[in-house]
Amino acid sequence: MAQMVHGFGGGTADGDASMKDLLGGKGANLAEMARLGLPVPAGFTLTTEVCNHYSDEGRRPPALEGQVAAAITRVEGIMGGRFGDTEDPLLLSVRSGAPVSMPGMMDTVLNLGLNDEIVEGLARRTGDRRFAFDAYRRLLQMYGDVVLGISGGDPNPFEARLEAKKQDRGVQYDVELDAEALEELVGELKSLIEEATGEPFPQDPRQQLWGAIEAVFESWDTPRAVAYRKIHEIPSHWGTAANVQAMVFGNRGSRCATGVAFTRDPSNGERRFYGEYLVNAQGEDVVAGIRTPLPLNRASKAAGPADISMEEEFPEAYAELDRIRGLLEAHYKDMQDVEFTVQDERLWMLQTRSGKRTGPAAVRIAVDMLDEGLIEEKEALQRVEPEQLTQLLVPVFDRKGLEQAREDGRLLATGLAAGPGAATGVITFSADEAVACAAQGSKAILVRIETSPDDIQGMHAAEGILTSRGGMTSHAAVVARGMGKTCVAGCGALEIDYATGVMRVAGKVLQRGDAISLDGGTGEVFAGTQEVRESQILRVLQGELAEGESSIYGAFERLLTASDRHSRLGVRTNADTPHDARIARRLGARGIGLCRTEHMFFEGERITSVRKMILAKTEEGRKKALAELLPMQRRDFDGIFRAMDGLPVTIRTLDPPLHEFLPREAAEIAELAQQMGVSTEHLQSVVAALEESNPMLGHRGCRLGIAYPEITAMQARAIFEAAVQVAADGVDVLPEVMIPLVAYEAELEHQRRVVVDTAEAVFAEAGRRVDYLVGTMIELPRACLVAERIAAHADFFSFGTNDLTQTTLGLSRDDAGRFLPLYLERGIYDGDPFARLDRSGVGQLVVLGTQRGRLTKPDLKVGICGEHGGEPTSIAFCHGAGLDYVSCSPYRVPVARLAAAQAVLREG
Amino acid sequence: MAQMVHGFGGGTADGDASMKDLLGGKGANLAEMARLGLPVPAGFTLTTEVCNHYSDEGRRPPALEGQVAAAITRVEGIMGGRFGDTEDPLLLSVRSGAPVSMPGMMDTVLNLGLNDEIVEGLARRTGDRRFAFDAYRRLLQMYGDVVLGISGGDPNPFEARLEAKKQDRGVQYDVELDAEALEELVGELKSLIEEATGEPFPQDPRQQLWGAIEAVFESWDTPRAVAYRKIHEIPSHWGTAANVQAMVFGNRGSRCATGVAFTRDPSNGERRFYGEYLVNAQGEDVVAGIRTPLPLNRASKAAGPADISMEEEFPEAYAELDRIRGLLEAHYKDMQDVEFTVQDERLWMLQTRSGKRTGPAAVRIAVDMLDEGLIEEKEALQRVEPEQLTQLLVPVFDRKGLEQAREDGRLLATGLAAGPGAATGVITFSADEAVACAAQGSKAILVRIETSPDDIQGMHAAEGILTSRGGMTSHAAVVARGMGKTCVAGCGALEIDYATGVMRVAGKVLQRGDAISLDGGTGEVFAGTQEVRESQILRVLQGELAEGESSIYGAFERLLTASDRHSRLGVRTNADTPHDARIARRLGARGIGLCRTEHMFFEGERITSVRKMILAKTEEGRKKALAELLPMQRRDFDGIFRAMDGLPVTIRTLDPPLHEFLPREAAEIAELAQQMGVSTEHLQSVVAALEESNPMLGHRGCRLGIAYPEITAMQARAIFEAAVQVAADGVDVLPEVMIPLVAYEAELEHQRRVVVDTAEAVFAEAGRRVDYLVGTMIELPRACLVAERIAAHADFFSFGTNDLTQTTLGLSRDDAGRFLPLYLERGIYDGDPFARLDRSGVGQLVVLGTQRGRLTKPDLKVGICGEHGGEPTSIAFCHGAGLDYVSCSPYRVPVARLAAAQAVLREG
């Protein structure tokens, strides 16, 4: 750690953009810009190693002061003036800068080097007393907050004094305060500091500088920063750098300005220079929204023609900025987010970094830059976060409309953003109401305490689903995402009363039939209707819009086609209906990885047959009821097979416990009893007998098929009858029968025998065979541990990571909501384990299960069909674990395709 | 496989007792007895290899017929007569004999070699026509059943004809049928066979012989035998041997007899010759109980002085048998179970094997034989099945009384034998009723559909517990075994109606207050009272009986003291009260491995404070309620620490979800609301909010302690305040605080900090320290998989194999009852996984968790505290896995001590 300080400025630098680990992102880019000859105020960076030294030793390294003093001398040489000098003072800023961006964690102190004497010198030297005291009051504010830790209250005590002063002078904006007012304010802020700390504001510029530097380093170990790093898996030993830089002033009169700009439009990716600036202001004024900023150029002026753009007001500085824009894009080969200051018409660059962008913008920019020859295909594929693609598929609320709704006080509550998109409709409190509402052509929002499989029809019919209970992987959330429906789940602020048809929230009472709007992107719930914009991509896929009419479809399609060229993992979909299967196929799914048959059991009159089966006392009675179901199941599979012509379709045999198919409420039981022609007492006793303490660990999965082989046989018959039927029509059908919840090899052996015997019988009857596979879901820890035995009876494995997570962690996804937020906050879980695969625990079992399964069958096909199959980090894990495919809900197929490609590209 | 047939008889044999694998148990012992010069009818054994050849090839090996023919010739040479000869016929028997005993699986055919012609020859030769036809009708019966498979009905068709014939002749016993009647019966049985099979009974003796041999071999692969082997882990490739032996006849008149004898008393182990015999009968008549057998000797005559003992009736044969008794014990060095036949006053030995014995007998015999110098200590320790020791601790019903109850039709139903012993009392349908009943000095049986922690007081007060739902590890079963209470669980035949206070079973209606009796050894439920005998051992341990007054205490104590000399695994107990702790300590527990604190929360007024805590809306409110609990918890621990002076006490912090402490029924909620001074609606909403879909996987274990650290802190304070208090009184206290349900190292880190901080605070206040440990239960698969991380924060691990089994297998112990019987029957589970540790799955995790934990801490103390800690095969597994101790319920401590020793001895 010989060199602790790296200088930059004057057309050269001690570092460059590759040195982010040592200099932090901001410092490395300042050095890079200096090397490029861009107008960067001179300065120097204290390395991350210095930060670590502070953390470890609690004090600055011995040689540091000397190196800093030398660096300041160099800055003085380049920029003119002297730090601490009363006649020609140089002011400095200190900004933190970690190797990766940690938004909201960064500490900054500007205008260091002022004191009661120097401020007078600055006023004299610049001939601008107002500016000098504005700079001083800013220093006092930031130093007091960041270094001295005087905060609390909203606004904080410094802001409060500033506000009071503006009121006192009857002005609206800071900039309207004159020199005298600012001088008064400075006096008040100094008193505030002395009262709060018992010490006067330090008048020694060097003490100020070290105070700011050390505050930056200490900020690395605040609980907030530690928690943030834990969540984002940023190692603590990285440390942050501290950037000390000569101040340039955007607040020194009307020929000064400051602003931020993006080299392309961050909202839609268009190749236009986009930004905002403020005259006579310092950088934080733009971000803080103290005044409304002005547009950067004429092209951006549409909204407010009265505004004067920077292009008009500062034509030379703008031209220079525009030149630098091109230079930076060519150099960094990515859209840049820059901060700049204009001091007396002269442009200074304060920061450049890759700009944040929306999903559509990310796709557009990646594909455009590929076309422009700036980047190669592999690079383009890594420029889009897979998760961002979901933004291209969901309907969204108009942004202006949302702001208006918030202003109008129509934001009712915020729940979990559990299903994508935006939905507006009228409140319905039951599946039946939702269905009836939709049948009348109205848009319904299904509002439930929580949903159950009984509600499937209502969820289908509704525009969106709102629940007061349940987490990101509650029934409502999982099913909604599977359907691509908007869902806000676990919105605990709601009090729902089915009986009176009323929902209470935030002191308001909403009735059945009242309009509400759900934002699936934020989890916000609004009273009233909001204007919705439909996804272009889906309209193109559904033939409602020509490809050419969409601004984004072409880029989306090209990005995903490119993804498929690189990925090794296949992407399938979880789909239970021909409709879902078709959508998923259009979105690029190469087969169905999970077709749940139980949802089919709820539709229409089927549930009656299912209930007859459950109530039957004999195998004979069950077979009779199953015979009624057979043609309906066959029709389901027929449609799905046709939709997936040429692609494999994995069908899971019945999984949920039988009590899920029976009603629970006394009234419903009585009604059903009458319908079934049995006594209410009898039905009640059947329902009671089927009740389970822990249904998740109960009589379900293959345990049902073993107790009632006739159910498996009926399902297998429906599958194979449909298969030979569509095969006769020339469809290339590839059924894969999947047995759930296997823990013992004998279970799979038993169920496989039932399936194979049924298949052979159907083939013999039909005089036609089709190829098929029989495999199993691996969703219990024991199955992973004895995978080598289970593989002997399996043609494929598909990891059911939802249940595997529940059992490995001992965590019910329906109940986890109660402590999950606490666990995330404390960093015990580094993410919702149902959203993001727990690599350390569940991941070990996935690896083990795969390896052991392949010990027995080296070519065993292995996939994953839990919710994790659509989550990028989990997909990367599956790639690493050597799986063959992931399966996810239809609307996540594009995410998975891109993530699968990135997993390969990251291997290098 | 050159030698397929091994001969024996005439004072010599081709094999010996060591050749059980090849000759089966029966064949090897017949050979051994022949070598010893004992009077064994000559014969020969077809080896298990021949059986395997049959299984594999489906036909007899080519050279077999020649070897069998030669062996028959040898038998004819020794015994006289010729097989198939009409003038001097030799008859043969064929009996199966596997390497290990498979009771009820054995097939036997006697009297082979008779046909219509030979029977006349036999009648002539013996001058006893009645005998000849009795032998023929027996052949027809057994051959028809075993070889031709004519069965079905109860009695089977052959028995039915025999019964009809006896009715027809107006006689009671078979032996009263005369020659003419038997000749008629022979004709009828032959017709029956011809009708059933379409073929006449084979007249060729050789065809009969091969038919019988092949039936024996085929019996190895019947579904019943396959299932039995799977359950008992007997490899299929072992095969069974077939023993062909010359017939000797106990049914050839009044100077003939047959019997069974034990070289010592199998019910109490006394060194007296014990047995039964029948005059003029064949072996199966004794077993089948066709006539009441007579006592073997004068000493056994007490019961029926009118009977004539064998000692009196056949003095010479008896003297010979008594001589052989001594010879066999000296030779086999174990109590023998022999079968013999007396033919014309001459004694023949048909079988010898180690005799089955009760628990008390096993202990007595092992210790006696050690004293007699017959066996060494290590051998004595292996002569008792650990499980048998439980029989020495439980009260039992008088055997005669039980027989009477069955005859009187008072057997109501049979459930699972879930808790040991025998209990008689009056029916109570709630915990309160049971408590009230006990308070009035009456004995109560608590009858519930299922039990919950709410019922603990009632279970304590009751003599026994009867449930209609739940398996061997249901709440009722686990708690009952922990208390040493008699329990019959999952007795599905009961219909319990709390409302009307009525229990319906087997067409009977029993009211609240009616007497019933539960046999915890068999699961039988009887109407009315049964006489109970209390365990001598417990009376000695409780000081109610002097050691010398007990016939068994001395042997019991010596056996266990010897066990401790050999074992490496420590044995602790699961105990929640000073009373249980004291009993366990007297039974040899070397500490407490699991003290559950939640049971303490239900006692008396505590539940009120617990409920106040749950209903509190703030941490402040919770702390106030916890402060009320503190002195009570401290008293609990005080008592336990004193009882365990000098031994470690592992205390688990609160584990169950909070809703277990709240009532569920509307009426109870309303009552509690009034008591608590809150509205019923509020309490209902609290109860509803705490409801969980899968409580097993919900907000429980350390998740509670992390959400409410004040609960852990209160418990830690109670522990350490009690510890310093008893330490001040000179008690050597070793508290070990155990955190449940840890899956992530951060959970343990958090809870450990709370415990350590509390301990230090208490020590500072008290001015006294005690040594203590903080560890964790390993009961989730993830904990095993990341054990190396968790170990960093743990002083010890204790595997909670109940929950580990539930999660690894995805199997709720409360719900498994629904399909467990089916799974056991089909051999999918090779035992109830909650009773017997699943080695392949759960066992892997135990091994992994232990190894990984010790990677971090080589000396990490590791134990097990699930129900498996008291089950012998699981204890052997724990020994092999390198655990330090097992912990089990008090009454299983002796079982565990012996099993721990046997685990070492089996290593050789």
Give me the pLDDT at residue A596, please: 94
Half-sphere exposure in the Cβ direction for B390 (13 Å, CA) = 26
The verdict on a CB contact (< 8 Å) between A782 and B741 is no
The verdict on a CB contact (< 8 Å) between A841 and B703 is no
Between A306 and B89, the higher pLDDT residue: B89
DSSP A712-726: HHHHHHHHHHHHHHH
Contact by Cβ (8 Å): B49, B239? yes
Average pLDDT over residues A264-277: 87
pLDDT digits (tens, 9 = 90+) for A555-580: 999 999 999 999 999 999 999 999 99
Q: Which amino acid is at A234?
A: I
A698 touches chain B (CB under 8 A): yes
The verdict on a CB contact (< 8 Å) between B743 and A814 is no
pLDDT digits (tens, 9 = 90+) for B763-797: 999 999 999 999 999 999 999 999 999 999 999 99
Q: Rounded to whole angstroms, how far apart are CA atoms A242 and A22? A: 11
The verdict on a CB contact (< 8 Å) between A819 and B694 is no
> Residue B809: its chain A contacts at CB < 8 A?
743, 780, 782
Between A751 and A507, the higher pLDDT residue: A751
The verdict on a CB contact (< 8 Å) between A841 and B781 is yes
Percentage with pLDDT > 90 across chain A? 66
DSSP A170-224: T-SSGGG--HHHHHHHHHHHHHHHHHHHSSPPP--HHHHHHHHHHHHHHHTTSHH
Give me the pLDDT at residue B195, please: 93
Structure tokens at B760: 């230090």
Find the closest chain B residue to A788 by CA distance: B840
The verdict on a CB contact (< 8 Å) between A810 and B845 is no
The verdict on a CB contact (< 8 Å) between B812 and A741 is no
Percentage with pLDDT > 70 across chain A? 96
pLDDT at B367 over 50: yes
Give me the pLDDT at residue B420, please: 73
Q: Which residues contact A207 (CB under 8 A, 6 or more apart)?
A: none
Please report where in the chains the tokens 């495999």 appear, as a residue: A775
A706 touches chain B (CB under 8 A): yes
pLDDT at A760 over 90: yes
B807 touches chain A (CB under 8 A): yes
Give me the pLDDT at residue B104, please: 60
The verdict on a CB contact (< 8 Å) between A707 and B786 is no
pLDDT digits (tens, 9 = 90+) for B108-125: 899 999 999 999 999 999
pLDDT band (50, 70, 90) for residue A543: confident
Give me the pLDDT at residue B860, please: 97
Active-site position among B865, B868, B878, B879: B865
For the annotated catalytic residues of A, the residue numbers are 475, 865
Q: Which residues contact B862 (CB under 8 A, 6 or more apart)?
A: B796, B797, B798, B799, B850, B853, B854, B882, B883, B884
Number of other residues whose CB lies within 10 A of the CB of residue A583: 23
Average pLDDT over residues A333-348: 95
Adjacent-strand bridge partners of B652: B596, B738
> Residue B828: its chain A contacts at CB < 8 A?
706, 744, 746-747, 750
Give me the pLDDT at residue B522, please: 81
Residue B717 distance to chain A (closest CA, Å): 24
Contact by Cβ (8 Å): B75, B43? yes
Q: Mapping DSSP to helix (H, G, I), strand (E, B) and coil, where does residue B896 land?
A: helix
Comparing CA positions, the residue from A287, A312, A281 lying closest to residue A297 is A312
Q: Rounded to whole angstroms, how far apart are CA atoms B888 and B868? A: 8
Residue B741 distance to chain A (closest CA, Å): 8
pLDDT digits (tens, 9 = 90+) for B745-761: 999 999 999 999 999 99
Give me the pLDDT at residue B155, please: 66
Structure tokens at A859: 């070519």
Q: What are the C-alpha distances in Å from A553 to residues A534, A560, A825, A870, B589?
A: 13, 11, 39, 21, 74
Q: Which of B664, B788, B815 to mutate to test the interface with A (most CBs of A within 10 A)?
A: B815
Tell me the pTM.
Answer: 0.82
pLDDT digits (tens, 9 = 90+) for B851-870: 999 999 999 999 999 889 99
B824 touches chain A (CB under 8 A): no
pLDDT band (50, 70, 90) for residue A295: confident
Q: Is B887 exposed, middle or buried (0-12, 13-18, 19+ CB in 10 A)?
A: buried
Nearest to B780 among A746, A810, A840 (CB): A810
Q: Rounded to whole angstroms, how far apart are CA atoms A34 and A22? A: 17
Q: Number of CB pairs < 8 Å for A and B?
A: 170
pLDDT at B230 over 80: no
Q: Rounded to whole angstroms, how far apart are CA atoms B818 and B489? A: 13
pLDDT digits (tens, 9 = 90+) for B482-532: 676 888 988 888 889 888 889 999 889 999 999 999 998 788 999 999 988
B780 touches chain A (CB under 8 A): yes
Structure tokens at A536: 């272009």
Percentage with pLDDT > 70 across chain B? 96
Comparing CA positions, the residue from B527, B529, B534, B505 lying closest to residue B443 is B529
Structure tokens at B429: 């349908």
Give me the pLDDT at residue A866, please: 87
Q: Mapping DSSP to helix (H, G, I), strand (E, B) and coil, where does residue B31 land?
A: helix
Nearest to A810 among B807, B815, B819 (CB): B807
The pLDDT mean for chain A works out to 91
pLDDT digits (tens, 9 = 90+) for A677-692: 888 888 888 888 888 9
Between B57 and A778, the higher pLDDT residue: A778
Active-site position among B6, B53, B460, B475: B475
Give me the pLDDT at residue B905, please: 96
The verdict on a CB contact (< 8 Å) between B782 and A842 is yes
pLDDT digits (tens, 9 = 90+) for B594-620: 999 987 888 778 888 999 999 888 889
Nearest to A780 among B810, B816, B822 (CB): B810
The verdict on a CB contact (< 8 Å) between A826 and B750 is yes
Phi, psi (degrees; rounded to nearest 5) at A876: -60, -40
A682 touches chain B (CB under 8 A): no
A451 touches chain B (CB under 8 A): no
B772 touches chain A (CB under 8 A): no
Adjacent-strand bridge partners of A43: A8, A245
The pLDDT mean for chain B works out to 91
pLDDT digits (tens, 9 = 90+) for A146-204: 899 887 766 688 988 998 999 999 998 888 899 999 999 999 999 999 999 999 999 99
Residue B640 distance to chain A (closest CA, Å): 31
pLDDT digits (tens, 9 = 90+) for B314-324: 999 999 999 99
